[in-house]
Structure 1
Amino acid sequence: MQETVIQTPARLHFGLLDLHGGLGRIDGGIGLALEQPRTVISVKRSRDFETFCPMEPGFEERLHVAVQAVCDHYGFSAVAVSIKERARPHSGLGSASQTLVGAGLAVCALHGLSPGAAEIAGLVGRGGTSGIGIGAIEHGGFILDGGHRFRRGEGSKSGYSPSSASVGVPPPPLLARYVFPPWDILIVIPRGEGASGNRERDLFEEACPVPAGDVEKMCRILLSQMLPAVLEADLQTFGAAMEAYQQYGFKVFEAETQGPLIAECAEFLRSGGGCGVGMSSWGPTLYAFGDDLSPLRDSSERWLAANGGGEVLLTRANNSGFRILKGM
């Protein structure tokens, strides 16, 4: 085999569940894999290590380090990695994990191996805070991860930090994964970026710990409303739970880092019939659920055109995870 091509799904992150840590665990969260946007990666055998990411050349060095780590761990020879498609970076869709973990999986597939996404994530430094992206890549669907041990010795986290600043922390356990109903999902990405790098790390330190009462309310919403609504395909209850979940904890702080345009866009989506409107991760990506969101997609495109531009996608949940497109 000379080439492997893989696609990994983007994900929505609905919010970290516990950034209080009083029960000895931290992080945790819920999210959903998407059919679109996606990341598509080609890996070929090569004389030298090469990485190409034409849509974000500044990412190539980080990609090179990750691929080198995977090859060194398994004893593979050099490869050339080319990113063919990629979700917009720093937009709340998890493009870094999709690219780095996806590249590692593709390298292994090229050599006839099929390790789990969590194993690759540990090698490339992902999953130190959230396990949603890893679960989305491996399994697809609606994901609940169990977070990390907090200040309890070796292998636990000692502070509040994003994945990019949680070096050496293993990915969290996957607590639950459910097939998501075939609802329309509208993705609206206004101009702008979410927090990343040092800014993201500083914001974690500023906002944490969140009140324990907020965590308790989020857990109740999740267990008594949201998860049953997913299993029963109850759109209205799911939407109400999603809106309520985002009124507590770290998600409130994430929303405050964005300007008024994001709040105005979210209200536009609600007024247009979107259900369960929210912001993914640090934003600026917004989402809404519904039975038929084609009219709202069209009106959202017009709204964005009049408010600085951006992207609009109408998609559904990915319930299968990554796919090998070539090289099986």
Structure 2
Amino acid sequence: MSRRVLVRTPCRLHFGLTSLGHSCERPQFGGVGVMIDVPGVHLEIVPAKRFGIEGPLSERVAYFSNSIFHRLQFSFPPELCIQVLSAPREHTGLGVGSQLGLAVAAGLAESLGFPWRDPSRLCQLTGRGRRSAVGTYGFLMGGLVVDGGHLQHEPLGRLTYHGALPDDWHFVLLTPPSLEGLSGKDEDLTIADLPQVSVEVTQQLESLVADEIIPAVEATDFELFSQSIYQFGCIAGDCFAAAQGGTFYSPATARLVAWLREIGFQGVGQSSWGPTIFAMTPSLKEAHRLKTAAKAHEIYSDYEIQLGPASNTGVQVEVFD
């Protein structure tokens, strides 16, 4: 077993869910998101005398590894070392936990000679994708992903659309220092307590996706795409107002969204629970203009700001024999 495997993932933006709390006869947890070409999880798996884990997020890696070995019915862990070379900060709305688990599964499977490019299999191995499948499909395929949701007996949401975004379009990610979004058991309990999203709101969100977001991608219509994802995010965010206290993560987040739109960037939204806010720009030049404006602002100067186009390919796996 002499293979060395490198795995690099993009980051995931989640624009919001389309369904929540419906009866078992309707799909749950549908939604829309996109993979972004900014630094995600970067890990390496190398031969070793005994199984080991090095680098940041080692406890999370151990959890995923144990889950994978249990499901593969390994009596003993393989003689490999998983080295996390870099990873973004967790719980900021960028899907780091899912991308980490999927990266560990893909890397181990590649090292051990198991097939892994099946989304349902990946979710089974890692325990991810119980709600949204955007991160799983995005991990494999990149680009814009529309998750049609899943029925109670189905293991994973249905992929209803996948499309590539133009390379010129850039996302600017603005993340406040220290703050975190919901995760883990807190997220589970919060979602369980949320009111049901009405069928009418679900239909409104699904119509936005079918009639505006997807046509905008197909026509490379930046203005339509920007306006439609902002509208989608506001409607989806209102469904979580009972937990957030409003459409967005906090009143400060709402003020950031308003400021971004005031200075000319209309395609703005919150990724997942936040606190990361994204803004669409038609070019890298405009992305740098936005970053410069934010860094000059007395409130946003200490925010982490990242720029990147969509990642239209998803995970990158390199094998060295």
Q: TM exceeds 0.5?
A: yes
Match for residue 214 of structure 2? 227
SS of the aligned residue for 2:103 comes to: helix
1:188 matched to 2:188? The reply is no
In 1, Cα distance between equivalents of 2:235 and 2:299? 31
Q: In structure 2, what is the Cα distance between the partners aligned to 1:231 and 1:25?
A: 25
| AA matched with 1:82 | Q
Offset at residue 290 of structure 1 (A): 1.4
Shift in CA distance, 111/59, structure 1 to aligned 2, threshold 3 Å: closer
Change (3 A) 1:53 1:68: farther
> Does the 8 A contact of 1:274 with 1:293 survive in 2?
no
SS at match of 2:182: coil
Indicate the residue corresponding to 1:243 in structure 2.
Answer: 230
TM-score of the superposition, structure 1-length normalised? 0.87
> After the TM superposition, which residues 1-328 of structure 1 pair with which residues of structure 2 at under 5 Å, given as runs?
1-22=2-23, 23-54=25-56, 56-69=57-70, 72=73, 77-118=78-119, 119-150=121-152, 155-156=153-154, 170-182=155-167, 183-191=169-177, 192-249=179-236, 252-253=239-240, 256=246, 258-291=249-282, 292-303=286-297, 306-307=299-300, 309-327=302-320
Identity value in percent: 24
**CA distance in 2 between partners of 1:277 and 1:252 (Å):** 18
Gaps of 5+ in 2: none
Distance 1:251 1:92 in 2: 17
CA–CA separation in structure 1 for the residues paired with 2:97 and 2:146: 20
The structure-2 alpha-carbon separation of the partners of 1:74 and 1:211, relative to structure 1 and needing over 3 Å to count, comes to farther
Paired with 1:115 and 1:72, the residues of 2 have a C-alpha distance of 16
Distance 1:73 1:133 in 2: 27
Distance 1:302 1:260 in 2: 21
Displacement of 1:308 after TM fit?
A: 7.7
Report the aligned-residue RMSD. 2.3
Q: Is the 8 A contact 2:65 2:105 kept in 1?
A: no
- Give the TM-score normalised by structure 2: 0.88
| CA deviations over 1:29-59 (Å, ceiling 9, x no partner) | 11001110321011112232212232x4543
- Could you say if the C-alpha distance between residues 61 and 180 of structure 1 is closer, same or farther in structure 2, counting changes exceeding 3 Å? same
Question: What does the per-residue CA deviation read over 1:290-309, in whole Å, with 9 as the maximum and x for residues that have no partner?
Answer: 11221101112333x63583
Matched-pair contact (CA < 8 Å) for 2:172–2:279: yes
